[in-house]
Amino acid sequence: MQLSIVIPFYNEEESLPELISWIQRVVDTHRFSYEIIMVDDGSNDNSWEVVKKLQTQNEHIKGISFQRNYGKSAALNEAFKAALGDYIITMDADLQDSPDEIPELYEMITTGRYDIVSGWKKKRFDNALTKNIPSKLYNYVTGKLSGIQLHDMNCGLKNLASIMFVGKYGKKPMHIFGFWGILVFMVGAGIWIYLAIAKFAFMQYKMTERPLFYVGIISIVIGTQLFLAGFLGELISRNSSDRNSYNIAEKIGLDE
């Protein structure tokens, strides 16, 4: 089998039929041998029922349903363990990743030019505060620390060889605490920048006597602590003996 197309999703009942139809048109046109592994990350809408209906119409579809929301990394981990294809293509279920890119992704990695191919969402339709800004910060910091310069490390559209998927784990501590830590820290930093401009540009004094000054200090301290809590949570989860153990409600098209 050439391709395992992995789609983690959460509450995407409206987009799933169109996405599967789109994928099917592309892979059939290019005559790929394939499977589609869909992982329901604890959706509370009718997404899983939609998947089961789609599976009766397309035998290439396989599904895994979590009992609760574990996060995208957990969903990918379970799908990677079940994948049978020589290459795995991942994509999000919200139709922001185009299945039309599948043939080029496959060609880029099978010709030996690249080991990993990652997509890039040039135009994002996510919430700027909760998604876009944290994503930009993540890309910048990760790029500086790792030396890997990608436009969008969080893009769901990727192509990798199956042998490369080992030891995935959830990242919920860093997602939760990291996001709020960065947000609170930025509030504190913004306050200090404002006070600095007020002092040096407008010659205002007694800044340390203003309540706003202490709000800024507290925000920076709390933000740093939240970020460190998320980081420590990541370290603990990585060393947990059951870090890759998830409660699965149901499987379709896969060995139980």
pLDDT digits (tens, 9 = 90+) for 202-219: 777 777 788 888 999 999
Q: Residue 9 pairs with which residues in a beta bridge?
A: 40
CB 49: neighbour CB atoms within 10 A? 12
Contact 127, 44 (CB under 8 A): no
In 3D space, the residue among 128, 124, 8, 122 whose CA is nearest the CA of residue 76 turns out to be 8
Give the pLDDT score at 199. 81
pLDDT over threshold 60, residue 126: no
Mean per-residue pLDDT, 45-65:
96
On the question of pLDDT at 145 being above 80, the answer is no
For 184, other C-beta atoms within 10 Å of its C-beta total 20
Q: What is the pLDDT of residue 169?
A: 44
- Give me the pLDDT at residue 156, please: 53
What type of residue sits at position 64? I
Give dist(CA 154, CA 104) in Å, integer: 20
Cα-to-chain-centroid distance, residue 16: 18
| pLDDT of residue 154 exceeding 60 | no
Q: Decide: 90 and 157 in contact? Cβ < 8 Å.
A: yes
| 188: CB partners within 8 A, 6+ apart | 215, 216, 217, 218, 219, 220, 221, 222, 223
Q: What pTM value is reported for the model?
A: 0.65
Instruction: Read off the pLDDT of residues 227-249 as tens digits, 9 standing for 90 and up.
Output: 888 878 777 766 665 556 789 99
pLDDT for residue 209: 80
Residue 123: half-sphere exposure toward Cβ, Cα within 13 Å: 2
The residue type of 184 is V
Matching residue, tokens 């991942």: 90
Tokens 């959460």 identify what position? Answer: 10
Convert the pLDDT of each residue in 158-181 to its tens digit: 656 554 444 444 456 766 787 788
pLDDT at 190: 92
pLDDT of residue 241: 54
Q: What percent of the chain has pLDDT over 70?
A: 74
CA 216 vs CA 179, 191, 193, 206, 220: distances in Å: 18, 5, 10, 15, 6
pLDDT digits (tens, 9 = 90+) for 22-51: 999 999 999 999 999 999 999 999 999 999
Q: What is the mean pLDDT of residues 177-194?
A: 88
The DSSP secondary structure of the chain, one letter per residue, reads --EEEEEEESS-TTTHHHHHHHHHHHHHHTT--EEEEEEE-S-SSSHHHHHHHHHHH-TTEEEEEESS---HHHHHHHHHHH--SSEEEE--SSS-S-GGGHHHHHHHHHTTS-SEEE---SS--S-IIIIIHHHHHHHHHHHHHH----S-TT-S-EEEEGGG-------HHIIIIIHHHHHHHHHHHHHHHHHHHHHHHH----GGGSHHHHHHHHHHHHHHHHHHHHHHHHHHHHT-TTTT---EEEEESS--
